[in-house]
Amino acid sequence: MHFNNLKIKDGEGIKACNSDDYNYIFNKSTGLFVRWGENKEDDPKYAPFPEILDIEISTVCNGLGKPCSWCYKANTHVGTNMTLETFKEVVSKINYCNGLTQVALGIGDIDANKDMYDIMQYCRDIGIIPNLTINGYKLDDYHAKKLSELAGAVAVSHYGNDDICFNAIKKLTDLGMDQVNIHKLLAKETYKSCFDLVDKVKLDKRLEKLNAIVFLLLKPKGSRNKFHSVEEVDDYRKLIDCCFEKKVDFGFDSCSAGKFLKAIEGRENEKQLKMMAEPCESGLFSFYCDVNGVAYPCSFMEGEGRWEKGINLLEIDDFKGEVWYNNKLIEWRENLLDKNKKGCFDCPYYDI
């Protein structure tokens, strides 16, 4: 792909990219994103830059009062915060041609990084929409108001404490936020509670304005994580069927794409659902940067395999040449594209 005649138009509500073989339109208010290649039927293999950046700005986390036993990061109350100055430096290098549309801010405790709201405001000022996932703990009126003013979307993790999660959802939706989701870890140990959560979404009035439940597939990573992956496709199918039956809006992370596509085989709306499924896009359309400014294809590849050592964005001058077209990332990208071409949409690294 050559990306000739690349032009970015950034308006108040819409950001658009046009080139000979890569194009997109992004609605900053609704989050709607449409991408195409040479024509509307053509799907580009990758982008000339990350469209979405997953960037960790804090590793300080007390969980819901104590560290979570399944955390793949093994975060504790002692950690690191990214400064506003470092964030600006990292984003300015990645956003070298103003093509970045959104950032997903990785945090632990909502009050850990004193620069967080300045970081979010900076994103807004340069035309990038900040999103984040919180655990709901310590979400008082001040933090809820700031999030409603600055965030495009907020997900609240459900770790078994309904009140902390559901009260946070209500606070945010009462302030007018439309894009508020629940993130629910899907593992053998949480499988039953996933079904219970679907029922609660229908019954609990605090969740009346919830956008959707997003089920996140457990990855076997982290010294503290003792949970196990849900391996059987039939188990996925039962959960999907439950959501459809109860008419509860839901989604899965891209790590789940392979199992999700197998689980919907034979459904009357299979073709439509396939169009909505998004396989892994790490290193193709998305990218990850840790709290120290070191980049990897995604957060789960940090310290793994060929990515035992990432690429330090604070030490490079040319993101396009030194990072996006770095030989290591090209190798990752080609491997991922080859798997997709063969119809394998499972994680390219973890056996899940």
Question: What would the pLDDT profile of 5-42 be if each residue is shown by its tens digit?
Answer: 999 999 999 999 999 999 999 999 999 999 999 998 89
Phi and psi at 211, nearest 5°, equal -75, -55
Confidence of residue 247 (pLDDT cuts 50, 70, 90): very high
pLDDT computed for residue 277 by the predictor: 86
271, pLDDT greater than 80: yes
Architecture of domain 49-341: Alpha-Beta Barrel (3.20)
**Residue 287 CB-density burial (10 A; 0-12 exposed, 13-18 middle, 19+ buried):** buried
Query: Closest Cα to residue 54, out of 100, 113, 104?
Result: 104
Host H or E run for residue 25: strand 23-27
177, pLDDT greater than 90: yes
Tokens of 22: 């890569």
The pTM assigned to this predicted structure is 0.95
The mean pLDDT value for 219-246 works out to 93
Confidence of residue 193 (pLDDT cuts 50, 70, 90): very high
Least confident of 57-66, 235-244, 335-344: 335-344
SS3 state at 135: coil
Delimit the domains of the chain by residue range: 1-44, 49-341
pLDDT computed for residue 350 by the predictor: 87
Q: Within a 10 A sphere around the Cβ of 198, how many other Cβ atoms?
A: 20
The mean pLDDT value for 277-305 works out to 96
Residue pLDDT, tens place only, 48-92: 999 999 999 999 999 988 888 889 998 999 999 999 999 999 999
Report how many helices (DSSP H) and strands (DSSP E) the chain contains, helices first.
10, 14
Cβ-contact 23, 40 below 8 angstroms: no
The more confidently predicted of residues 277 and 237 is 237
Q: What is the dihedral of CA 327, 331, 333, 336, to 10 degrees?
A: -170
Query: Closest Cα to residue 177, out of 201, 148, 155?
Result: 148
Do the bridges between strand 154-157 and strand 33-36 make them parallel or antiparallel, or are there none, so unpaired? unpaired
Cβ-contact 133, 84 below 8 angstroms: no
CA dist., res. 287 & res. 311, Å (int)? 12
Confidence of residue 285 (pLDDT cuts 50, 70, 90): very high
Do the bridges between strand 311-312 and strand 129-134 make them parallel or antiparallel, or are there none, so unpaired? unpaired
The mean pLDDT value for 161-176 works out to 97
What is the gyration radius of the CA atoms in the chain, in angstroms?
Answer: 20
1, pLDDT greater than 90: no
Confidence of residue 324 (pLDDT cuts 50, 70, 90): very high
Angle between helices 233-246 and 191-203 in degrees, nearest 10: 10
Tokens of 259: 């199992």
Cβ-contact 213, 248 below 8 angstroms: yes
Q: What is the DSSP letter of 207?
A: G
The mean pLDDT value for 259-287 works out to 92
pLDDT computed for residue 66 by the predictor: 84
352, pLDDT greater than 80: no
Residue pLDDT, tens place only, 102-160: 999 999 999 999 999 999 999 999 999 999 999 999 999 999 999 999 999 999 999 98
